[in-house]
Amino acid sequence: MPLLKIIKTQGENFVIVCDKELLGKTFRSRKMKLEVKERFYSGEEASVNECLSAIKGATIANLVGSIVQHAVKEGIIGDGSVFHFQKVQHAQLVKM
């Protein structure tokens, strides 16, 4: 199950979703790296549907792992907005 963290602050609804097994790991793509730090990405276990619902209500979202493809299938994230770090997918969302 993915990990879900929701932070509500100053009118923003910040949603962070990450696959549990990715915590603490670092992934690279060319000159970029993705550090999946526990203090940032650690959250509560949630179902994919709970995560997608939270992402739909987010003003800002940071997604790492399998949830990215679910968000693409739901039309929340465009396929062209997905970064690949080795085999790990990463996407960010900002609603204006």
Domains of the chain: 2-94 (3.30.1860.10)
Average pLDDT of the chain is 95
| Bridge partners of residue 7, in order along the sequence | 14
Predicted TM-score (pTM) of this structure: 0.93
Q: What percent of the chain has pLDDT over 70?
A: 100
pLDDT in tens, 9-42: 999 999 999 999 999 999 998 889 999 999 999 9
CA 2 to chain centre: 9
Q: Say if CB 29 and CB 65 are below 8 A apart.
A: no
Please, which residues have CB within 8 angstroms of residue 84's CB and are 6 or more apart in sequence?
Answer: 29, 90
